Structure formats: structure tokens, C-alpha cells
Structure 1
Amino acid sequence: MTVVPLNGPLRRLISISPKSTLYFSKRTFATTLPRDADWGFIGLGQMGYPMARNLRAKIPESDTLVICDANPESTQRFVAEHSNQRVEVASNPREVAEKAGTVITSLPEPQHVKGVFHTILKNGLPKLTKERLFIDCSTIDPISSREVASAVHSTGAGRFVDAPMSGGVVGATAGTLTFMVGASSKVPGLVQEVEDVLLLMGKKMWLLGEQGAGLSGKLANNYLLAISNIATAEAMNLGVRWGLDPKALGQMINSSTGRCWSSEVNNPAPGVIETAPASRDYSGGFGVSLMKKDLRLAVEGAREAGTHLELAAKAQEVYDATEAAHRGKDFSVVYQYLKDHSN
């Protein structure tokens, strides 16, 4: 095993306390089947779990998927659901990287991504026959992502790209996610390889530029989503207060100029879209806390870029209040918050 000097960006990652990572878990159980090719997936949360499920369904039966998560129940449930397929549970992120040529991460916050890669990189990695590919699907800030990418590349651990996704839990489950990718155009074949992997879990990939560009695109998109969700909730609440039938109002909006994803797919008024979280007491979907995180990252990024966001402060205020009143619900529950606070 190669020991890598602790300098440059790697030193910054190594200085992160291991306590900062959520992804240390004891081995629960593992198969001993011989491996043909290995894939790794770290982070079996609301998005990661169905993504890993789709990945396991699409890769060759002879390949092995090595999974890792802080919650042993998630890994046990995943293995139980795939008892006839090659799935192994790793005791920590490093074990995943040691075995897998392609490693996908889906983690909550920047500190979790840094913590995971601190564990993976701190003592160098053994060489594989093919250079490793790390695809980080987490939504974090571009600066943190570039720091991790620099550590991966400077230590010779492999190639790293950012590939946050859009489509929510519904899209992750259906395998219809859209990925926004930042990848080096100077590495021959990298973009095609990344696309081949991502289309096992989604339906479209947008290459937005060099490393970090995918996250910039994702945060711009989710800033817009945060605002359009509030506006849709206000419009639906206003129409209902005027005596309009919410389903008729929603159908009209979706055939008119107000049409948007928040009205057509994730309408915040209960009963308008039967498959939307609003029609099942706002359960599942994209949590208010996650929207708050993405909105915060977008605002921080805008500040660093010297870009003024006129509606950001009010949107953050609305989501703060909504989360306090409806913690754990889909972010479209802002409709219920507005309804409850209407005079």
C-alpha cells in the first residue's frame, strides 16, 4: 500500500476529525461470493437507497455492489431485499474504496463528504487494475467539492466528479433522475464513463463544465425551486380562499402560464396531484430541512460571487418557520403553513 505525504489539500481533509463523518458503521454481514467487478455506494438515505437499488438492478449479475451507511438498519434492509444478488456491507468508507472501481457517494452535508474522503484517503489506497472513479451525488458547496476533488487527484487515488441530481425521491425510485455534472474535459473518456454510470440510476445527464460546475447548476436550479414552491403555494392558497376548487385551479394553472414543476408534479395543495406528497400528508418527498440546506448553500455561493438575490432572505424566513411548524415533512408543506397563518 502506498503511503502518501500529508500535504496540500489532503492535509486539510486529514485535519478533519473522524467524528465529523456519519459514515462509520460496524460490519453487519457480508457475502463471500467471488467478485467479477465491484461497485461501491456510500450513503443509503432517502435518495441514496433507491439509487443504489436501481444501480444493483442494472449492473451485471456477476458484479458485486459494496454498500456503506451509518445506519446498520439501512444496510441490513438493503441486503435482505437483494438476498439473491451480490451485495456486501463494508465496515467503513475506506473498505468500499479498497474494493470498488466505481464509488458513488450520496451524503447530507459538506462535512460528511469531507469526513468520508478523509477516511478513504488518509493512508493512501492500493492500486486497482483500472483507475478508480468517484462520483459524488451529494448537494454541497462547490468550494468543498473542489477541495475534495483536489485531494483525490493529488494523491493519485482516482478521478473525482460532482454529479448532484434533481428529481427527488420519486425520481430516485423510478430511476428518472437528472444529473448535473462537473467533470474535467482534459481526461479522455471520463465524461462518457460518468454518463454510462449515471444513466443506470437516472434518465439524463447535463455536463455543465469543469469540476464543481454541476453543483453550481444544481444550487441555481434549487434556488428557483425554493421560490417557485412558495409562489405556487401562495397562488393555490389564494385561489382556495376565493372559493375555487383546488383541483380545478391546479389543472387550469398547469395549462396556463403559471405552470411549473411545483404546480404540475409536486402541487402543494392536497388532492390536486394524487402522487404528490401533499396528497399523503406531505410524507416522503424532499424534506423542508433539505430545501433549507440547498437554499443556504445557494445564498452562500451567491454572496461569494457578489450576486444579490432579492427574494432569498424572505424565502429563508418562510422555510425556517415552515420547518418549525412541520418538521420532517416535504417542503411543499409550506402550503399548509401559509394556510394556517392566513387571516
Structure 2
Amino acid sequence: MKQQVLPILRLRSSPLSCRLFSTTVRRDATYGFIGLGKMGAPMAANLRTKLPKEDTLYIFDVNKAATTEFQQKFGSGVQVASSVGEVVEHSETIITMLPEPAHVAGVFKTLTASPPPPLKSGTQRLFIDSSTIDVSTSLAVSRSVSECKSLNGTFVDAPVSGGVVGAAAGTLTFMLGGHESILPRAKEILSLMGARILPCGAPGTGLAAKLANNYLLAISNIGVAEAMRLGQKLGLEKDVLKNVINVSSGKCWSSEINNPIDNELKGFEGGFGVALMKKDLGLAVQAAQACGAKLEMAEKAQEVYATVLQKEGSKDFSIVYKWLKDRET
């Protein structure tokens, strides 16, 4: 009788189906997310959605309404912690997404001053900070985590590009700075919240890349606004000018994806706020002063964003266009 040959089934594994753990016994993984603001909430939502349902996500935010809403949305796979210490006590991987350097420094000062015990599993905790802060604060936090032996942790900086839209869609770009040995584990987690993970080098280099990029963005946004007004004042239709720029050497993100004439139709609502651009520009200038880099356009750009914030509030930063337009009349 001819022996029947059964077909081999090839199972496609999920991003986290292969755990980075030394034990071969299946156990549920635990994650923490600190900071559920405009960026953090959609990032944490993507993380929770794409994690195996057996895994647990611990969350914390000073805004209790944000954590309550998040738990109601996702149910039993989410645990609301009463403190950052409780998040870390239970979690193997902890992501922080906070507004200012002082917030990040404060969280880690609390953790290292009164650290939770090491995880019973022996797994080293991985701290991923996606906040946009200054490099010196990030490096100081990284050192404090390494020096706190009872915390048993390691730290990477992973600021993002892509804004609220990218956070919601899971298409963020992460600029990753950290020791090479930990990058595969960090990239595995970040891939659940973004489309591109760009290793930049040693600790602090992710933030260095982010600040350099956002300095350029601050300048190009003003340049696009000025060019659009110049062309229109010279008699060009705004859509014609936009199309010319976007097939010519002046093309950039601010002209193609975030063009002010498109955002004007939406009242410049949403997007990357003027206050955030002012903050990031300030961090870039601070970094330049520390390392001796010359930024000839910085002072005027800072003046522009400070004035626009005062006049227009924190709408999308392309509202510089409206500010220029209003000054012409």
C-alpha cells in the first residue's frame, strides 16, 4: 500500500510569536506605557491591539480620565496602575511618551530613588523613551537606569516622526539610540507602533537625529510659507505654485504633505502644534550651543514661532503662512 504523504503546513508567525526569553515554557508577557497624551494614547492603542491577547499592558497617566477611557476601550488586557512604580514593578518593557524633559527626568528620578525589585523571571527590564527631550537629560536618565542595579534595566531613546496621524495609523518612524545588544528587542516592540525603525547609533543618537531633523523642518516650514506668499503676490495661482514646487527642487515635506494652502482649508486644526515646534526648535538650539554647531537661521526662526504662538495659538505650525498673509494687509 502506498504511504500517504501529508502536506507540511507552514504557519506564519506574528511579530511577537517568538519571545526573546531564555525559558522554553510559554508565559504571558507584560508591558508598561507611561503617558497617554495625544501621541501616547494612539501608540499604546496600537501596541495593545497587536500584542497577543494573553499579554498585559500596564498604563499610567496623571490624567485619570485618559487611563479610564483606555481601559474601557480594551478591557481585561489592560491594567491601570496607581503610580509609575507599579507600572515598572510588573513590566518587562516600559515605554514613556511625555511632553517635557522635566517629566522624563522626574519619572526616572522616582524610579531610581525607590526602585521596584527585579522581575522574578530574571528578565532585564527595557525602558524605551519616545519623548522628544534634550540629549543631556536622556543620557543622564540612561546612566541612572544602568547604575540602579536593583532595577535591572537598560534604556534606549526612540523619539518619533509622523505626528498624531502616524501614531494613530501605526506608521511612525522611530529614531533609535542605544547599545547594539538591546536593539533587536527594542525594534521588535517598536514595530508594533511604527513602520520604520532607524538605528542611529549609541545612546542619545536617536534624539540627536530627531533634533537635527526638526530643526530643518522648522526652517523649511517658514520657507514654504514665504515662497507660497511670494508666488501668489507675483500673480501665481496658489495651486499652480504648489504643483510647480512639488515637481521641482524646492519640494519638501512642508510643501508636499503639509502644505499651508491645504491646511488653511481645515483652519490649521490638528497636526503638529506651534508650541511643539517652538519647543523642539529650542531643544535643537540648546544642543547646538552645547556642541558648538552654528545655526545661522535659528534666532529668527525662534522669533517667528514665538510670535505666531502668541498671535495664533497652538494650531498646526504651518499657520505661519496665515501669520505672514495677515501682515501683508
Q: Same fold (TM over 0.5)?
A: yes
**Equivalence for 1:96:** 87
Q: Residue 339 and residue 204 in structure 1: after superposition, are their counterparts in 2 closer, same or farther (change >3 A)?
A: same
Partner of 2:158: 163
Determine which of 236, 240, 250 is the counterpart of 1:248.
Answer: 240
Alignment-mate amino acid for residue 201 of structure 1: M
Structure-2 residue corresponding to 1:4: none
Residue pairs, 1:305-320, within 5 angstroms: 305-320=291-306
1:45-71 deviation line (CA, Å, top 9, x unaligned): 111111111111111111111111111
Q: Does 1:338 align with 2:324?
A: yes
1:63 matched to 2:55: yes
Looking at structure 2, the residues matched to 57 and 241 of structure 1 have their Cα atoms a distance apart, in angstroms, of 49
Provide the secondary structure at the position in 1 that maps to 2:176.
strand
TM (norm. structure 1) is 0.84
Shift of 1:119: 1.9
Task: State the TM-score, normalized to the length of structure 2.
Answer: 0.88
Give the partner amino acid of 1:177: L
RMSD: 1.3
Residues 248-292 of structure 1 deviation map (CA, whole Å, 9 limit, x = unaligned): 2212211111110011111112x3xxxxx5432111111111111
Alignment of 1:106-125 (within 5 A): 106-125=97-116
Q: CA deviation at 1:80?
A: 2.2
Alpha-carbon offset, residue 229 of structure 1 = 0.4
- Candidates 174, 178, 181, aligned match of 2:176: 181
1:154 pairs with 147, 158, 175, which one?
A: 147
Counterpart position of 1:195:
187
Gaps of 5+ in 1: 1-34, 272-276
The aligned counterpart of 1:46 is: 38
Q: Distance in 2 between matches of 1:42 and 1:209?
A: 25
- Deviation digits for residues 175-212 of structure 1 (CA, Å, limit 9, x no counterpart): 11111111013xx3x11111111111001111111101
Within 5 A, what are the aligned runs for 1:162-311? 162-185=157-180, 188=181, 190-269=182-261, 271=262, 277-311=263-297
Mapping of residues 75-94 of structure 1, within 5 Å: 75-83=67-75, 85-94=76-85
Letter in 1 for 2:299: A
Match for 1:88: what amino acid? Q
- Residues in 2 aligned to 1:132 and 1:241: alpha-carbon distance in whole angstroms: 58
Q: Is 1:136 aligned with 2:122?
A: no
Give the Cα–Cα distance (whole angstroms) in 2 for the partners of residues 61 and 333 of structure 1: 42
Size of the aligned set, in residue pairs, is 299
